[in-house]
Structure 1
Amino acid sequence: MKRQGGFTLIELVVVIVILGILAVTAAPKFMNLQNDARKASLEGLKGSIQGAAGIVYGKSAIEGKESTATAKVDDIDVAYGYPVATSAALSAVVNGLEADWTCQDGADSGSIQCSFKNNTEWTKDKGCYVQYTPAKSVSEAASTTVVVTGSSCK
């Protein structure tokens, strides 16, 4: 008589236990994907704002308006060649800003913060936004930073 080959019950249980251990150790790595996607989107917005501000500065330099405190370049309000920190100015230079993002002026610093449009509860203290600060002098360029400190983005 031929002996039948196969796995014993103990072997199957051991394999299932090993697969379970691997799943438990790997699952937390994949649970954080939404937060990583939010942070990557903010980095993308930062790059868009920086690129647009650089293009506007180039146009300002061509027109000789990069050293004036207030001017207009292609109907965009600029300060020292860079867009001013208003929703209107940034929306004019960044495609899709109004459609996908919500921006609010930062009255205390003269900057503007933009976050996700569907994130209705974000505030400066929750820390999940891109902050654009316009140029304040000829020697100081505009800056864009990503702020990720609050629970709404982590």
Structure 2
Amino acid sequence: MKRQGGFTLIELVVVIVILGILAVTAAPKFMNLQNDARKASLEGLKGSIQGAAGIVYGKAAIEGVESVSSGKSVNGIPLAFGYPTATSAALGAAVNGLDTDWTCDAPAGGAIKCTFKGKTSYFDDSSDACYVKYTQAKSVSEAATTVVVAKGNSCK
């Protein structure tokens, strides 16, 4: 008679234990992927806003209105020193698709905050915040700025 080859019960248990140990050490690394994805989305929005603001500034410079504080527009985008003003309408006109995935709110002080749709609680400056903040230009020598705020547990 031939002896049948195969795995013993002990060998199978050892393999399962090894796989369990690997799963326990690797799982925490993959648990934070959603947070990283949201932060990457914020960085992408920041890049889109900066790129759009640069294009608008270029068009304003071509038309010679880059030094005007307000009252001028380029392609229907209201300007402040050549950059889009900090309103949801101005940024929505400058950045394609901004209104579909993002909610933008202008609290005060020439700034606008954009966050994921349906996450309105992230519009604050508390310890838990997750948004992109666009501040319009305040003078000819000071360009518009875009900053990602991603702190605390709100990006989870």
Alignment TM-score, normalising by the size of structure 2: 0.92
Specify the alignment match of 1:11 in structure 2: 11
Partner of 1:90: 91
Offset at residue 30 of structure 1 (A)? 1.4
Q: Does 1:140 align with 2:151?
A: no
RMSD between superposed Cα atoms in Å = 1.3
Aligned match of 2:53: 53
Q: Structure 1 counterpart of 2:81, which letter?
A: Y
In structure 2, the partner of 1:35 is 35
Measure how far apart 1:38 and its partner are. 0.8
Percent sequence identity over matched residues?
74
Structure 1 gap ranges (5+): none
Offset at 1:93?
0.7
Question: TM-score by structure 1 length?
Answer: 0.93
2-side partners of 1:103 and 1:139: how far apart?
Answer: 26
1:105 corresponds in structure 2 to 106
Q: Higher mean Cα deviation, 5-14 or 138-147?
A: 5-14
Measure how far apart 1:2 and its partner are: 3.2
How far residue 12 of structure 1 moved from its aligned partner, in angstroms, is 1.1
Match of 2:80 in 1: 79
Could you report, residue by residue, the CA deviation over 1:32-57 in whole angstroms, capped at 9, with x for unpaired residues?
11111111111111111111100100
Superposed CA offset, 1:81-112 (max 9, x none): 000101111111111112211111131x4210
SS in 1 for 2:148: strand
